A and B are shown apart, each in its own frame.
Chain A
Amino acid sequence: MKIHTFKFSILLLLAALVALISPQISSATDEGCELNAIATKLQSQPELSRFEQEKSIKVLSKPLYSSGYLLLSQDSGLVWQTLEPIKSTTVITDTEFKQYNKSDQLISLPDNGNQPASQLISSTFLAILSGSFTELDKNFTVATRCDDSQWTISLTPTNSTIDNVMHHITVTGSQRIQRIAFTEANDDVTQLSFTPDTTEHMITQLREYLVD
């Protein structure tokens, strides 16, 4: 691998660490398809969802697949647990960003839990997944599209620093969020799809991450 790829990576990494999302409000929407209207359609997000992730990375011939569970808690944040192919757990709350390795040990990588910048990125993530769309138009240019059964929100960062990390986010759903896709700055694309799930022991298990 050539050195410039590395430079690029570290650059983006550091840019991500100092990223600041700026408030700029602008939205282009159809009648009855504003963020607020969509938020109303989105009655409530299920507490537990199963997710499938497909990452298309330019340098790799085949995409990377992974899957796991997402637990949303109304007041205390979210737990993102990848189970396949390797277990890893990310906990995001208003104030914290924690990662656990496959043996459920708290790890320091990426050790930026106390960095306000990455906290901002994770809170954006938290806002999208929990359907708190009203906060998004602070940080992104928002475009929406609605038809009978579905709506789509397109988010483009207004801040150049966050644009260095991510170019575009698309969220699709009806009464709940069905798909999220985002294009990273190096044109790698990540697609996530969600299915509601009620597996009782998963809920119990994931809730424990929020306790400590």
Chain B
Amino acid sequence: MLAVTGWLFYSHLTSGFRVETNILKLLPKTEVDPFAEEAFTRFSDNNFKQIIVAVSADDKSQVSGAAKQLISQLKQTELIASFTSQLTQKEQEAVGKLYFDHRFHLLTDRDRQLMLEQGSQPFLDATLQLVYSPLSGQLIGLIPTDPYLLSYRYLQNLNAKGGKQQQGQLDDGFILFEQEEQYTALISATLQTSPFDTHTQDTVTTLLHDFEQNNPELTLLKTGAVFYAQHAAASAKQEISTIGLGSLIAVILLLIVAFRSTAPLLLTLTSLASGIFIAFTVVHWFFGSIHVLTLVFGSSLVGVAVDYAFHYFASANKHRHPLRHILIAISMGLVSSVIGYIALFTAPFPGLRQMALFCATGLAGAFLTVVLLFDRIPYRVATPNWLLRCFKSHLRVSRHASNNTFILMLLLAPLTAGYLLLNTEQDNDNIRQLQSIPPELYQQEQQIKELVNAPATNQFFVVKAENKQLLLEKLQQLEPQLQQLVSSAVIDGYQHPAQFVPSAQQQRNDYQLLGKRLLNDNFQQLLELGLLQPAQISKLKQNYQQQTPLGINEWLNSPLGQRFNYLWLGQIEQQQASIITLNNIHDLEALQQAAQAHDYLYFINKVEKISTLFANYRELALLMLLTALGIIFILLTVKYRPIIAAYVLLGPVIAAAFAVIVNISINGSFNLFSTLALFLVFGIGIDYGLFYAEAKTRSSYINLAIGLSAITTLLSFGLLSLSATPAIHAFGLTMLTGILTVFLLSPILGHLIYSTKGLPHE
């Protein structure tokens, strides 16, 4: 089996390990409709690749010099697909030409209304006003080809729809603007690779860090998924090493102190190593990659997997080949833990499944090492007497508590926990739980948001239709409703492709409406002023006849379309789809309702969806835990008397209750991740109970084993509770309180088990 694992490991090694840091990869699909799910994926893939860096100082040339330098450094990494900025002059020209070439098909809503009600006169008046206004001489050249200034009016309207415009000065790849004597260069770029790619994360972060170090006079702000991902990955890695190393050192010290021999130390480390090795390999093989959070959770496996070895060596104080004396106890322990993990594994939640598989295989690996290897190696253990005395006195003290009154009092804990669970606001099942968000990064994001008007990335509408033209028509139909949402302050603004490209039908109508006026207009006033020549009029009418409508593909290929290509999702499952982005959402409920009115309109709210999902899984996990508890009880009664089985399970139940109480009083909530920790509390707690239940005589070596195991577990999970990631912190805290309770209760319950079995006192 080791050979198989080794081969698997090797084959993964040669093809390269994939350590995943994308949090979304841990989550199940949240949308019932695969269409909406796919739409979200495409939109978020694009969003994730964006980075924005703002460089500020009070000296203008310094800022623009720094921006240029930074851009060239970023270019050299070859990780940047493109620098996005406002349109350059060349691009503005191209966009101007695009709309000019289709001007007879394009009317703004307001102009259409004006044309219908008052004909072309208001347009000609406006043209004249512009001609005579002191500052607008530049448009005069446009009059012969566009006397109604249609292209100008349409572009003006697009500009206004663009929302808050930066009054920035355009430079090569960045925008420079001034605010209260402070100059800021804004660089926005799209990454070539995934922001969850470790190489990309490290390169970009290091580059910016060095740049900041070398230019202390500049203020640097940055935002983008890549920075959050980098931080999450770095803190996860650090936590893995702290927790893993911390518990490892604890294990080593304990083994040396407790058994005063190198063999147990080496054997235990072998058992741990093979457990983790097998777990890593199996998970990587099964899922194709391993998530960094799985590794964090997994690193705490050390504390659990070491139980078998400790029990073995504690028993070795008394027996030459202790395996047969403890085999049943540790087998039952493994089975009960694995039952818990199997329950977890059945959840359609990739993250949970990975963690369950990791823990189950890791435990099995450690168990198999103990069973197959330990008895074959010759060694001697001698636990020092002072240590044994410590545990003996603990045992003695515990005996005083092992009476029915105390047990009945303990039962208050589950009642309290149950009451608290039912009466606590469950608002902590949030995706942010999975990521430690450094405040300075969050603050920088907020500051940048004040400079650029970015649409919400986790909440938006998706519209679908059978083909491109129908899609544009549907977007147009939604226009009144969207305007209503803006005027009732549900959102501040929105963007969709039909604002840039009206549907073919709309363009046809506008073309005809315009034609009626344009073909019959004699442009008397303009002719008299010499702004227009008779020959130009016939040329104009000829131009009109030859003109074609603006197509969506033509627009998508234009510089403007390239800027906004994320709005157009293209084909998904035989349907065409598009996004309506929303700026500054004030009322989520209203958006939800708006979407319900149309079957082709979806409101995507990822944060909310995930929170609901986490809450559902928390309930599901608790339910599975209770089910597992029932199954384990039944299994135990096959071998033990029901009262002993009950004592075995009582420890973890009380421990879980205390964990719930402590979590709610410290964090104000009991979330999904604390629930997951309960699975481990149960696994370990049942192990402890079983060690007593399996004992043939009252032995302080059992207490030794449990004590050592509890100390390592407490150490490793105590460290987990220090994690900056809220989810891991909750997990650690639950483990800490749960295991501490189980440890303190186990000798008390042990006495009760002994008395039930009729074992005499030592």
Question: Which positions in A face B, CB cutoff 8 Å?
Answer: 1, 3, 5-20, 22, 53, 55, 57, 59-62, 64, 66, 80, 82, 85-86, 88, 90, 99, 101-102, 107-112, 114-117, 120-121, 125, 159, 161, 165, 182, 184-186, 188, 190, 192
Contact = CB atoms under 8 A, between A and B. Distances in A.
A55 to B, nearest CB: 7
Interface string B159-187: 11000010111100000011000000000
Interface stretch (B22-30, B38-46, B528-536, B674-682): B528-536
B159 A17 contact: yes
12 contacts: A1-B536, A6-B151, A8-B141, A13-B139, A20-B167, A53-B132, A82-B133, A86-B129, A101-B125, A114-B160, A115-B167, A121-B135
Given A18-B169, A20-B167, A109-B149, 8 more contacts: A1-B145, A3-B100, A53-B132, A59-B141, A61-B530, A86-B125, A185-B138, A192-B134
B156 A112 contact: yes
Given A10-B152, A86-B132, A109-B156, A190 B137 contact: yes
Contacts of A59: 140-141
Given A10-B151, A86-B128, A188-B137, A22 B60 contact: yes
Nearest to A12: B138
B97 interface: yes
Query: Ordered nearest first, which 9 A-B pairs have the shortest CB separation?
Result: A10-B96, A5-B141, A1-B144, A88-B129, A116-B167, A188-B137, A66-B132, A12-B138, A117-B167
A108 B110 contact: yes
Nearest to B533: A1
Q: Is the interface of A mostly helix, strand, loop or mixed?
A: mixed
Contacts of A116: 165, 167
B86 A9 contact: no
Given A11-B89, A15-B89, A120 B167 contact: yes
Contacts of B146: 6
A8 B139 CA distance: 9
Contacts of B469: none
A15 B87 CA distance: 11
Contacts of A110: 130, 136, 156
Contacts of A20: 167-169, 177-178
B204 to A, nearest CB: 29
B537 to A, nearest CB: 12
Contacts of B125: 86, 101-102
A8 B97 CA distance: 10
Interface of B: 60, 86-87, 89, 92-93, 96-97, 100, 110, 122, 125-126, 128-146, 149, 151-153, 155-157, 159-160, 165, 167-170, 177-178, 529-531, 536
B138 A9 contact: yes
Contact of A64 (B131, B153, B160): B131
A16 B139 CA distance: 12
Nearest to B99: A10
Given A6-B141, A55-B137, A186-B141, A22 B128 contact: no
Contacts of B167: 18-20, 115-117, 120
A68 B678 CA distance: 83
A94 B60 CA distance: 26
A88 B139 CA distance: 17
B137 to A, nearest CB: 4
B138 A186 contact: yes
B126 A107 contact: yes
A170 B259 CA distance: 98
A5 B141 CA distance: 6
B625 to A, nearest CB: 58
A115 B163 CA distance: 10
A94 B219 CA distance: 31
Contacts of B160: 111-112, 114
Contact of B96 (A11, A109, A111): A11
Given A12-B138, A20-B169, A6 B100 contact: yes
Contacts of A101: 122, 125-126, 129
A1 B141 CA distance: 7
A78 to B, nearest CB: 12
A59 B131 CA distance: 13
Contacts of B153: 109
Contacts of A8: 138, 141
Contacts of B168: 18, 20
A13 B129 contact: no
A17 B143 CA distance: 20
A120 B177 CA distance: 14
A161 B96 contact: no
B142 A9 contact: yes
Central interface residue in A8, A64, A120, A159, by most chain B CB within 10 Å: A64
B157 A82 contact: no
Given A62-B530, A111-B156, A186-B141, A161 B129 contact: no
